[in-house]
A and B are shown apart, each in its own frame.
Chain A
């Protein structure tokens, strides 16, 4: 199998994992799916690195493994343990309609990127569409879930989509930009975690339903 084909397959797998995430209501399971998603992303990075031979793609691979596959899920699981949460109760949409909508969103993503001609990118057919789809599905996750932690999961799904798009750009983004993005992501997640804890401490819950005092 050639590099592009592998990336295509991995991209579709990523989309499948994202849809699985939509269908999953257990929080720990969601985080694990996220970790698997990130691992698949790391594989994409590795494939691109192998195929292009660019040394700094290996750096991207390493960063992905370190941050996305290990660090972020660990932080999230720790927070989960800290606040003793197990399941996403009462999502705003039933699993079935959420799935239907995420499929619809994926179609929009494929539609929007279908005609695009990516001159400088890694010659993968679906990667860009999938990355856009991941972003939209991530948004949907944030929309339908009530727990603050689920929203972080949705956000990381979005980030994964973007990272996928970044990976298949030839040789990735310039390194300094990438490092900046990584650092920012790290700080962002950290700040969000801080707020998650503060909210939990203040409201005794991570259910964002209580965060509806500010209206009009």
Chain B
């Protein structure tokens, strides 16, 4: 593949290679991009004159492929940053709005800072190995000294983690994803952030392997934190796309839980266990790519049809946009981890990975993180279910909460085709979980040293030496659920005879139900908001506006939200301090020629003393 000798620096030739891991990611990129492109063919009609499939989009997709086929650090960085810049260009499509510009800037700066951290990791590897070739790094990994390895790992984890949207370096993600055109959000959230995972896997499993146990523990902690906080923040959102963006944070957390378990198992030399965790992580990468792209496209269709993404103004779309609703429901069920769809399959594998890793850990402090991680994964799954009951239930069911929503029209054929492909993929990846896991064998074998055993149609989390692990045959469960669900009315009819159905108005204590009576998105999330208030720090603000003195209430305005903890206490504090320091340092250039001459004199005197 390296017939072309490109590269501006001496001895630095752009190189390409495709190994099993890269091939897996390339497949995800190509598959999802294909569906998204079909969708965008129709979606672009809503915004005439915008180059939705223009050069930036093509460069974006191509550079994502470039990232996974890059064979050396320089090629990788080129593709990596091209990907970031192209996606930035797409994010700021609506750049006249201040929020879009600010999101674009935050995104660009964070991704560039991340690139710098990645570059730092690469520089350390270069110092240690004298090469920029990924293959040579992998070959030299066992000889890497532990301090360098840990530094590389940490730099890579934070750098790639930023792209992946790992908490606490996630803040760009919920800003940038909602403001981008939806097909771009779909690609960014579905595919691009996964390349952060790609990088983490390369760093942790190939270039620095094998590391100490605390790496795995750290990744587990970050994964659990991202998963739980991500889903909690998602629950607090009313903007459908922002909600989906926070779910990306959550799912990255789930992927990291699998990867962390694998890292931990590998540090203990148990490659058979590591294979389960890694398979779970990779499988979830593909699954999240599929259903998150599907959901973002659905949100885009809703946005285009109703002009809003605010759940409080949606509702009733299941009747106005039945196909979109059905496809969105498939995505919702998949992301909520419901059998027999793909989300359940990979989460089940993650549970198993956490369990077997905890079981196999040699010490209590190494066993507890994966096991508690499993519990937090359960919490995440249940909260995700709550969130998508909210998203689908409030957004698509019940009564329309706004005129635009009441008059929404079904989206176009191209959009539906794009979504249908991915919805079908959700089902296929779930039912075909066992063959998918077998197909992931080469990639896991390359990274973890062994692959999960292929088990025909049944998925076995059964590492050697464990007698009774779990197994899962989603096709059969699906058959059972469907058969029994169909049998229930048949049996009831058989036993009790036919009955008639009457259609009447919903009971609302005697009045005709109004959209105002419906449970809102805010109200739906309230129990969870209160239960987890110490974590998410909700804020609310009630303004009572009076008329005629204080006797008559004209209007009550209620605003609620979540305190931006990370933004306020981490980033805002950091940037404020930076800017304050910068303002202070700007006194250097105080306009006084005398001061400038004094600097010159001071430099001269210092050098004179130094040269002595």
| A and B, direct touch (CB closer than 8 Å) | yes
Q: Does A179 contact B (CB under 8 A)?
A: no
Residues of chain A within 8 A (CB-CB) of B598 are 143
Q: Is the CB of A211 within 8 A of B593?
A: yes
Q: Is the CB of B593 within 8 A of A215?
A: no
Q: Is the CB of A215 within 8 A of B609?
A: no
**Can you name the residue of chain A whose Cβ is closest to the Cβ of B585?**
A216
Q: How far apart are A115's CB and chain B's nearest CB, in angstroms?
A: 7
A105 to B586, CA, bound (A): 28
Residues of chain A within 8 A (CB-CB) of B586 are 215-216
> Which positions 555-612 of chain B face chain A at CB distance < 8 Å?
586, 589-594, 597-598, 600-601, 604-605, 608-609, 611-612
Q: Is the CB of B591 within 8 A of A139?
A: no
Contacts A111-B612, A142-B597 given; indicate if A212 touches B590 (C-beta within 8 A): yes
Interface size class of B (residues with CB under 8 A): 10 to 19
Q: Is the CB of B601 within 8 A of A115?
A: no
A115 to B608, CA, bound (A): 12
**What per-residue 1/0 map shows which CB atoms of A180-216 lie under 8 Å from chain B?**
0000000000000000000000000000100111111
Contacts A112-B611, A215-B589, A216-B589 given; indicate if A146 touches B604 (C-beta within 8 A): no
Q: Does A169 contact B (CB under 8 A)?
A: no
Q: Is the CB of A215 within 8 A of B591?
A: yes
Classify the interface of chain A: helix, strand, loop or mixed.
helix
A: residues with CB less than 8 A from B are: 92, 105, 108-109, 111-112, 115, 132, 136, 139-140, 142-146, 151, 208, 211-216
Q: How far apart are A163's CB and chain B's nearest CB, in angstroms?
A: 18
**Can you name the residue of chain A whose Cβ is closest to the Cβ of B583?**
A216
Q: Is the CB of B597 within 8 A of A139?
A: yes
Q: Is the CB of A212 within 8 A of B604?
A: no
Query: Can you list 20 A-B pairs, Cβ within 8 angstroms, ordered by A?
Result: A108-B608, A109-B608, A112-B609, A112-B611, A115-B612, A132-B608, A139-B600, A139-B604, A140-B601, A142-B594, A142-B597, A143-B594, A143-B601, A144-B594, A145-B594, A151-B593, A208-B594, A211-B593, A212-B592, A215-B590
Q: Is the CB of B612 within 8 A of A112?
A: yes
Residues of chain B within 8 A (CB-CB) of A142 are 593-594, 597
B: residues with CB less than 8 A from A are: 586, 589-594, 597-598, 600-601, 604-605, 608-609, 611-612
Contacts A112-B608, A139-B601, A143-B601 given; indicate if A214 touches B594 (C-beta within 8 A): no
A112 to B593, CA, bound (A): 26
**Can you name the residue of chain B whose Cβ is closest to the Cβ of A112?**
B608
A215 to B596, CA, bound (A): 12
Residues of chain B within 8 A (CB-CB) of A115 are 612
A136 to B601, CA, bound (A): 7
**Can you name the residue of chain B whose Cβ is closest to the Cβ of A148?**
B593
14 further interface pairs, Cβ-Cβ under 8 Å (given A108-B605, A136-B604): A92-B594, A105-B605, A108-B608, A111-B609, A112-B608, A139-B597, A139-B600, A139-B601, A142-B594, A143-B601, A211-B593, A212-B590, A214-B591, A215-B586
Q: Which of A140, A146, A212, A213 has the most B CB atoms < 10 Å from its CB? A: A212
**Can you name the residue of chain A whose Cβ is closest to the Cβ of B605?**
A108
A215 to B593, CA, bound (A): 11
Q: Which of A105, A112, A136, A144 has the most B CB atoms < 10 Å from its CB? A: A112
Q: Is the CB of B609 within 8 A of A212?
A: no
**Can you name the residue of chain A whose Cβ is closest to the Cβ of B600?**
A139
Q: How far apart are B604's CB and chain A's nearest CB, in angstroms?
A: 7
